[in-house]
Amino acid sequence: GADLQPAFGDATEQFWELVAAGTGAAQLDTTGGSDRILEARAWPLNGDEAPHILVVLRDVTAEWRHMAGLQHLNVLARELLAESSLDVLLVRIVDAAKELARADFSALLLLREGSKDEVTNFVYNAPRELFPERLPRAVGLLAVPIQSASVARIDDIRGHAAGVGIPVEHPPIAALLAVPILLGEVVVGELAVANTPERMPFDDIDEALMNELAAHAAITLSLVTAREAQDQVAETRRVLIDVAMHNIRTPLTVAQESLATVRAQGDGPSDEKRDGPLEAVERALERIEALTEGSLLDEHTPVGGTPVQELGPIDVHELVTELCEEFGGMRPGVRVEVSVKDGFSAPFVGDRRLVRELLDALVHNAVKHSPADEVVAITVRLEGSSVRFDVSDRGPGIPPDEQGRIFEQFYRTVQSAADGTPGTGLGLWIARRLADLQDGTVGVSSRTGQGSTFWATFPLQPVGTTAAAPPV
């Protein structure tokens, strides 16, 4: 009749059933009591007096936990290998660490390649107030697994000399177990669990399971990282192809529209009326040839699509005259006119090829959206230490809530999509990239129903160059 509840917890009734049977064996899960797994065996002892029962108990908690943990890891490993998202993978690993070690808190950090203290990813299963807003750095106790490529297991970090960087309040942390995540011999991160002071410290089984989990994490992280790198290469290739197609499509459109203008003139157009559109076709074809041989996507373009600049003086009048002649015949009835303010005539220093690509994108966009019998106006002026090009049209305009997005990759306005206006949403994105490359700017001013003005600025003299003096 002894009260065995404090020791046997939920297994109390099972224990008394074994005693009543007088013989046999059972595994007792003493949750609610001593929280251990006990192997119990009973034998009857015959004597002169009332029969006695001998019960032998063996603590198999460690063996059971290790076996159960490995079985759990076996299932988890297959699930992790199928995961394609790095963020989801990190959360799964952190949650698994907390469960396997029966810990109060768990966390995982990944290091920047080549660094032993700079963190790129930090995921945790713990109260948010335990950690600052910024990414932590691997210092103090957290640095031990990284610097030594070995486990740090401490029963109570409170007052520990190397406890810097570990939160000890709200609530306090006592026991800590941190293991390195290794790819070969390189430490790429760290997996850690912690307990509050009321809980038991971590033991050998916890350490063994955490090391196993860290090994699985290393394999799956390398696979997910490789997949993401492959996806990034594919995305970069797709963008480069899209940009190339866009750059070719612009002069093709000019050529097609110029030929359409010649056809619309009927039989026997005068030499003057015929030569202008045909010259535009010839220039467009020359640009296509230049694009196939080089330009923005040539052998001088490093990985990532950033072209090498070839700086030199750019004649403003010559540049805008080319734009006027080429795009003036793009759509019947749409004229392109040029105005140079304040007698500005001196050349500025830049990469003519890239400047032309940017302005082509702005002018092509304006002509495409202009109504028939309207004018696209190109205005050039000096603005401080920069030259500014304004390209104005009288098209439908851009709603205020869309103006902040039109320079995004693949973005098209709601009106353009509804009208079926041809386009890929790349032209203005390319323009912004080219402006950034040349320390310039692009922007837009627009009112719905009243047209738009796109502008671009280029420094008269790029930093570090002496190719030409600024205009007086």
Residue 76 clears pLDDT 60, i.e. is over it? yes
Q: What is the mean pLDDT of the chain?
A: 79
Confidence of residue 295 (pLDDT cuts 50, 70, 90): very low
d(CA 156, CA 97): 19
Mean pLDDT of 149-171: 71
Residue 459 clears pLDDT 70, i.e. is over it? yes
Q: How many helices, marked H, and strands, marked E, lie in the chain? A: 12, 15
Of 453, 445, 456, 449, the C-alpha closest to 392 is 453
More confident residue, 268 or 467: 268
Confidence of residue 40 (pLDDT cuts 50, 70, 90): confident
Query: How far apart, in Å, are the Cα atoms of 3 and each of 22, 50, 228?
Result: 19, 21, 59
Residue 100 clears pLDDT 60, i.e. is over it? yes
Q: Report pLDDT digits (tens) over 442-452.
A: 999 999 888 99
Of 278, 288, 231, the C-alpha closest to 258 is 278
Of 286, 292, 285, 287, the C-alpha closest to 259 is 285
Neighbour tally for 234: CB within 10 Å = 10
Buried b (16+ CB within 10 A) or exposed e, 424-449: ebbbbbbbbbbbeebebebebebeee
Can you give the pLDDT at residue 264? Answer: 64
Confidence of residue 299 (pLDDT cuts 50, 70, 90): very low
Question: Tokens at residue 169, please?
Answer: 């309040």
Can you give the pLDDT at residue 251? Answer: 66
- Correct CATH for 77-230 of 1.10.3720.10, 1.10.287.130, 3.20.140.10, 3.30.450.40: 3.30.450.40
Mean pLDDT of 139-156: 87
In the 8-state DSSP scheme, what is residue 301?
P
Buried b (16+ CB within 10 A) or exposed e, 287-306: bbeebeeebbbeeeeeeeee
CB 88 within 8 A of CB 96: no
Query: How far apart, in Å, are the Cα atoms of 188 and each of 184, 185, 432?
Result: 10, 9, 36
Can you give the pLDDT at residue 256? Answer: 64
If 0-12 CB within 10 Å is exposed, 13-18 middle and 19+ buried, where does residue 49 land?
A: exposed
Question: Tokens at residue 403, please?
Answer: 């103006």
Of 272-281, 309-318, 378-387, where does mean pLDDT reach its minimum?
A: 272-281
The CATH fold assigned to 309-459 is: Heat Shock Protein 90 (3.30.565)
C-alpha angle with apex 320: 336 to 290, nearest 5 degrees?
A: 105
Side chain identity at residue 20, one-letter code? A
Can you give the pLDDT at residue 50? Answer: 61
Residue 471 clears pLDDT 70, i.e. is over it? no
Residue 316 clears pLDDT 50, i.e. is over it? yes
More confident residue, 399 or 309: 399
Strands (E), 4-161: 24-29, 37-45, 52-59, 105-111, 119-125, 152-154
Helix (H, G, I), strand (E, B) or coil at 445: strand
Q: Report pLDDT digits (tens) over 178-213.
A: 999 998 889 999 999 999 888 888 999 999 999 999
Residue 162 clears pLDDT 80, i.e. is over it? no
More confident residue, 175 or 10: 175
Q: Where are the domains of the chain?
A: 5-59, 77-230, 309-459
Can you give the pLDDT at residue 52? Answer: 80
Confidence of residue 109 (pLDDT cuts 50, 70, 90): very high
CB 439 within 8 A of CB 459: yes
Q: Characterize the bridge pairing of strands 24-29 and 52-59.
A: unpaired
Can you give the pLDDT at residue 261? Answer: 64
Can you give the pLDDT at residue 272? Answer: 59
pTM value is 0.47
More confident residue, 35 or 372: 372
Helix (H, G, I), strand (E, B) or coil at 332: coil
Count CA atoms within 13 Å of residue 187 on its CB side: 25
Question: Tokens at residue 343, please?
Answer: 């007698």
In the 8-state DSSP scheme, what is residue 169?
S
Q: Report pLDDT digits (tens) over 405-449.
A: 888 887 888 888 777 676 667 788 888 988 988 889 999 999 988
Helices (H), 82-197: 86-100, 144-148
How far is residue 81 CA from its own chain's centroid? Answer: 21
Q: Characterize the bridge pairing of strands 375-383 and 335-340.
A: parallel
